[in-house]
Amino acid sequence: MSSIYVHIPFCKKRCTYCNFFSTTLLQRQEDYVNALTKEIILRKEYITNPTTIYLGGGTPSTLPASLLEKIFDSLDKNFNLSYLEEVTIECNPDDLNSDYIKELKNLPINRLSMGIQTFDEEELKVLGRRHNASNAIKAVENVYNSGIENISIDLMYALPNQSLKTWESNLDIALKLPISHISAYHLSYEEDTPLYKLKNLAFDEEKSLEFFNLLREKTSENGFEHYEISNWAKNGKYSKHNTSYWQNKPYLGIGAGAHSYNLEERRWNFSSLNDYINGVLNNTQYSENENLTPDDKYNDLIITMLRTKWGIDINLIVPEYIKHFNKQCDKFIKEDYLKKVDNNIILTPSGIFISDYIMRELMI
Ligand code: SF4
């Protein structure tokens, strides 16, 4: 099992909370895709037989279908894609007009992830999103009716001045849509973003927990399974791509800012459009890497596998770390933050909310 991630860093407009690597220089899209197709050739030995491809961003749906087709053609020429199970593209609801949906249908895409965040117009404005609520609802319905039935949406909670009531009505709208997957994230106020000036509106932990518990309750009442800290799926429609990360499998990241991992090293491409494009096209440096130490490998297992409902398989912990691992786990099992099921260590519902702290304690 391995996967390919392709980073498309273009956005038509920057959201107020965003500190991801993205750019509004849409005029560079063609140069960028030329660099992507060259990097695909340069790195075709990094993994074999990928089972998932994920086009993430940024906003991949800012690319015209002709450029998306060029990327897929290049992937097809350079990898054995006969094992592919899932091909996801991240989209902004505003880009999904009926012509664009038809074009996506002609590409090898079978899953679509939509960055909706909220259905409340005021909240959308505060976040600086470019779509409105009715566009988002129509976009989900149109994509579903086109035959792409595996749809995920992203939501955010604990937004400035958000009440439990508005969060609940967001969830009510979301849960009526024909979707099979929800990723929901607590807003974080990042220092280098415009939203940071509203940091005084951040909620305390107790209130954040109320938002989170409401999310858990409503999704569970509607048949969604909480299978990863921030992810819920219906009818077993887990994100196969992200699950492969969480099961510590190798992946190849193509594009500016993309990360790769092959169990022995981590590699990351420069997070600069010019440095990436020039590096790839002129055969000069465009990435850095580090070899993983035994401590890194152990820590990677903790921070990936503990996130999911399947937890950490104790058999995967190598002998030199098992004493530390068991000692730390026992402490959290006594406090009902972790549980042992068969040979796996899994977060309990109360452990999920403090998962960052638990991971830090389990790491070396
Ligand atoms: S669409 Fe996504 S990547 Fe682009 S600015 Fe908004 S949050 Fe950032």
Per-residue pLDDT at 1: 84
**Ligand 1 atom with least separation from CA of 128:** 6
> Which residue's CA is minimally distant from atom 7 of ligand 1?
18
Instruction: Output the residue whose Cα is nearest ligand 1's atom 2.
Output: 58
- Cα–ligand 1 centroid distance for 129 (angstroms): 8
Cα three-residue angle 301-304-305, rounded to 5 degrees: 75
* Centroid of ligand 1 to alpha carbon of 114 (angstroms): 12
Q: What's the 3-state SS for 89-158? A: EEECHHHCCHHHHHHHHCCCCCEEEEEEECCCHHHHHHHCCCCCHHHHHHHHHHHHHHCCCCEEEEEEEC
Q: Which residues line ligand 1 (CB under 6 A)?
A: 11, 14-15, 18, 20, 22, 57-59, 115
Q: How far is the CA of 174 from the centre of ligand 1 (A)?
A: 20
φ, ψ for residue 242, nearest 5 deg:
-70, -35
Mean of pLDDT values over 128-146: 96
The token duo for 131 is 């779509």
The pLDDT tens digits of the residues spanning 305-322 come to 999 999 999 999 999 999
CA of 17 to the centre of ligand 1 (A): 8
Ordered by start, the domain boundaries in the chain are 3-245, 294-362
Q: Are 291 and 302 in contact (CB under 8 A)?
A: no
DSSP H/E element including 13: none
Residue 248's CB is within 10 A of a number of other CB atoms, namely 18
C-alpha of residue 201 to centroid of ligand 1, in Å: 21
* CA–centroid distance, residue 161 to ligand 1 (Å): 21
- Domain 294-362: top CATH class: mainly alpha
Element (H, E) at 296: helix 294-305
- Output the DSSP codes for 182-194: EEEEE----TTSG
- The model's pLDDT over 48-92, given as tens digits with 9 standing for 90+, comes to 999 999 999 999 999 999 999 999 999 999 999 999 999 999 999
Distance 58 CA to ligand 1 centre (A): 5
Query: Model confidence over 247-285: pLDDT tens digits?
Result: 999 999 999 999 999 999 999 999 999 999 999 999 999
Nearest ligand 1 atom, CA 17: 7
Mean pLDDT of the chain: 97
Span 229-247, average pLDDT = 97
Q: Ligand 1 atom 5: the closest Cα is on which residue?
A: 14
82 Cα distance to chain centroid: 24
Q: Which CATH superfamily, name and number, covers 3-245?
A: tm_1862 like domain (3.80.30.20)
Which residue lies with its CA nearest to atom 8 of ligand 1? 18
Indicate if 294-362 has the same CATH topology as 3-245. no
Distance CA 306, CA 283 (A): 39
pLDDT of residue 338: 98
- What predicted TM-score, i.e. pTM, was given to this entire model? 0.96
Atom of ligand 1 nearest to the CA of 92: 1
Q: What is the pLDDT of residues 109-134, one digit of tens each?
A: 999 999 999 999 999 999 999 999 99
Interval between CA 91 and ligand 1 midpoint (Å):
10
The residue whose CA has the least distance to atom 6 of ligand 1 is 15
